[in-house]
Chain A
Amino acid sequence: MSDDVAIVGIGIHPFGRHEGVSGMEQGAIAIRKACEDAGISWNDLQFAFGGSVAAGSPDHMVSQMGLTGLQFINVVNGCATGGSALISTFNTIKSGAYDLGVAVGFDKHERGAFRVQTGKQGERDWYGGSGMALTTQFFGMKINKYMEDYGITQSSLAKVASKAFRNGSKNENAWRRQAFGEEEVLQSQMLSYPLTQYMFCSPGEGGVALVLARADKAHQYTDKPIFLKSAVVRSRKYGSFEVLAPSLALDYADGPTVDASKAAFEAAGIGPEDIDIAQLQDTESGAEIMHMAENGFCEHGEQEKMLADGETEITGRLPVNTDGGCLANGEPVGASGLRQVYENVLQLRGQAGKRQVPDSPKVAYTHVYGAPGISGVTILSA
C-alpha cells in the first residue's frame, strides 16, 4: 500500500485529574502543542475532526483557537470516539479533499465507574435499577470465563497491571506514576471478581491532537513523518459477547476487535508478525490479555507463558502498552485512542525517553475497544 497519509505533529495534555481545566481547554492545549510540533499555526489547518463524549462539542473550541472558518466536524462514537476522529481525518486526506488537518480528542468524566442510564423515557430503568448496566461487570464476566476456558491465572492479571504502572512511572504525562508490585495489585479491593481495584482503569481527563498531512508534503513539516498505513473501526456482529447487553444470542461469534484487526492488517498489507510494538485496550488487565489474542498476536491461552517470560515488557519481543495504557493513564474516552497513536509516534521517532523501545521499532499497532461493542485499530510505520 502506498504511503498516502502521514502524521506530522503530535500534542498531548497530561492525563489525570485537572481541577479548573475544562476538557475542551485540554483539547485546545493539545492542538497548540501539535501545531508547534509540526511547525504550523492554527491558521494553516484546513479542517478538523474533534471527538468528545462528555466534555462538550469540540467545534466550540474555534472561538478560543481562532475563527478561521475551517471545516470542523464533531465525532461521537462510544469508546472509539478518538479513533473515529482520526479515521475521518485520514480518509479526508486520502480522498484528496484537503492536504492538512487535525484530529483532536479530549474528555473529562465524573469520578468512579461510568454511570450508564438505559431506561426508555417515561419508564423505570429496570436494567441499571437492578444493578446491572455496569461496564465493569462485563469485563469481570468476560475474563472470568476466559480464564476458565484457556487456563489464564490471576497472577497474569496482576503482572499486566504491575507492568502498566511500571511503564506509567516512566511517562511524565501519565496519571498513575507509582509502580505497584503484583502482590499489591492482588491485595487491592475486589471490585468485580476476579478483578481488583488496581486491575481496572478509571475514567479520567486528558486531550490529544494529531496533525495529519498528505504524505508527499510531509517533509515540509517534519523530518520524521510517521505514516498511517491503515485506520479501521468495526461494530459488533450477531452473536458476539459485548458490554451492556441484557441478552446474548445462543450462537457465539468473534467480537469487533477480531474484525477490525483483520481489516487493518489487510489494508496495510502486513500481518501481526510484522508489528514491533502494540498499544492494546486495557480497560482492565484481563482485557489486555484477551486482546493480545483477538488482535492476532498469539493463540488463546499462550498469554500465560508470554507474560511469565516478559515478552510484552518494553524490552520484550512485543512491547505492549509502553506508556502505561489505560491502567496508568485513565480513560478519557474521546482522547484514549489518540493517546495510543501519540505514544506510537513517539516510539517510532525514537523520542520516548526512559520508556523507549530498543532497536528502533519500525511498525506499530493501536487498538481500542468499548461500549457499545465497537473497536478501532490503526497501523503506523516509520
Chain B
Amino acid sequence: MGQVSINENVMDLTPDGPRLKGMRCKECNNHVFPMQSGCPKCTSDNVEEVQLGNKGTLWAWTIQGFPPKAPPYLGEANPEKFKAYGVGYIELPGQLKVESRLTISDPTQLKSGMMMEIVGEAIGEDENGNELVTFAFAPTD
C-alpha cells in the first residue's frame, strides 16, 4: 500500500512531487496537455512527449463550491463532508496554461499573476488500497 499516480499516462509521481506529461510539437514548439498525437496549432503529427514545468503563474481561477458528481469524481462527493477547492489555469512559461486543482479555496487568498508550484494531492483509493494522487498547484511562498 503506497501512493500511486491517478493516471500514469498523464502524470508521474516522483520523489520531488508530481510531474505532468505533455505534448510538444517538433515543427512549431506548441505544447498541449495531456499528450496527444497531433498539433492543433500547425496540424503536424511530428510530436513528442515532454515533461511540463512545475512552476508558473495563476492566470484564471474559481472555487468549486459543490461536490462534483461521482462518477467521475474520485474525491469526497458527500455534501456533508465535501470541502470546497480552488480550480485554475497556471501559465507554465514557454509551454502552456494547465488546468489544475488549487490548494487554496479562500477567494481572498487567490490573485491572478501569483507564483504557484505543483504538489501532490490524495484524492481517493484504487482497487488495491493504494492512495491515488492527483496534482494541484500551491502558492510558492
Interface residues of A (CB under 8 A from B): 112-113, 115-119, 123-134, 137, 140-142, 144-145, 148, 189-195, 238, 241, 245-250
- Find chain A residues with CB under 8 A from B64 CB: 131, 134, 137, 192
Describe B's contact surface by its main secondary structure.
strand
Q: Is the CB of A117 within 8 A of B91?
A: no
CA distance A145 to B97 in the complex (A): 14
- Find chain B residues with CB under 8 A from A245 CB: 99
Q: Is the CB of A250 within 8 A of B7?
A: no
CA distance A92 to B11 in the complex (A): 48
B107 adjacent to chain A (CB < 8 Å): yes
Q: Is the CB of A137 within 8 A of B6?
A: no
Nearest Cβ on chain B to A267's Cβ, whole angstroms: 27
CA distance A115 to B77 in the complex (A): 13
B118 adjacent to chain A (CB < 8 Å): no
- Find chain B residues with CB under 8 A from A141 CB: 60-62, 87-89
B41 adjacent to chain A (CB < 8 Å): yes
Q: Is the CB of A140 within 8 A of B73?
A: no
- Find chain A residues with CB under 8 A from B71 CB: 115, 117, 125, 128-129
Q: Is the CB of A124 within 8 A of B112?
A: no
CA distance A350 to B35 in the complex (A): 54
CA distance A77 to B45 in the complex (A): 26
Q: Could you give 28 example pairs across A and B, Cβ below 8 Å?
A: A112-B69, A118-B72, A119-B72, A123-B7, A124-B6, A125-B71, A126-B6, A126-B7, A128-B68, A128-B71, A129-B71, A129-B123, A130-B101, A131-B87, A133-B68, A137-B62, A141-B62, A144-B60, A190-B63, A190-B65, A191-B66, A192-B62, A193-B63, A238-B40, A238-B41, A246-B33, A249-B97, A250-B91
- Find chain A residues with CB under 8 A from B17 CB: none
Beyond A126-B6, A140-B63, A141-B60, is A247–B31 a contact (Cβ under 8 Å)?
yes
- Find chain A residues with CB under 8 A from B10 CB: 126
CA distance A189 to B82 in the complex (A): 15
Beyond A140-B63, A238-B40, is A247–B72 a contact (Cβ under 8 Å)?
no
- Find chain A residues with CB under 8 A from B34 CB: 246-247
Beyond A123-B7, A126-B10, A130-B134, is A193–B62 a contact (Cβ under 8 Å)?
yes
Q: Is the CB of A140 within 8 A of B68?
A: no
Tally of B interface residues using CB under 8 Å: 48
Which chain A residue has the least Cβ–Cβ distance from B121? A130
Contact mask for chain B residues 47-86; partner A; CB cutoff 8 A; 1 contact, 0 none: 0000000000001111111101101111100000000010
- Find chain A residues with CB under 8 A from B22 CB: 247
Beyond A123-B7, A126-B11, A247-B31, is A144–B61 a contact (Cβ under 8 Å)?
yes
- Find chain A residues with CB under 8 A from B115 CB: none
- Find chain A residues with CB under 8 A from B135 CB: 130
Q: Is the CB of A133 within 8 A of B30?
A: no
B96 adjacent to chain A (CB < 8 Å): yes
Extra pairs beyond A113-B66, A124-B6, A145-B112 (18, CB < 8 Å): A117-B71, A119-B72, A123-B9, A128-B72, A129-B7, A129-B123, A130-B75, A132-B87, A133-B68, A141-B89, A189-B65, A191-B65, A192-B64, A246-B33, A246-B34, A248-B89, A248-B97, A249-B41
B98 adjacent to chain A (CB < 8 Å): yes
CA distance A131 to B94 in the complex (A): 26
Q: Is the CB of B6 within 8 A of A129?
A: yes
CA distance A125 to B85 in the complex (A): 19
- Find chain A residues with CB under 8 A from B98 CB: 246-247
B95 adjacent to chain A (CB < 8 Å): yes
Nearest Cβ on chain A to B68's Cβ, whole angstroms: 5
Q: Is the CB of B123 within 8 A of A131?
A: yes
CA distance A112 to B123 in the complex (A): 22
Which chain B residue has the least Cβ–Cβ distance from A140? B62
CA distance A246 to B32 in the complex (A): 9
Please list the 8 inter-chain residue pairs (A to B) with the smallest Cβ-Cβ separation, ordered nearest first. A128-B72, A140-B62, A126-B7, A247-B33, A193-B63, A129-B74, A130-B134, A145-B60
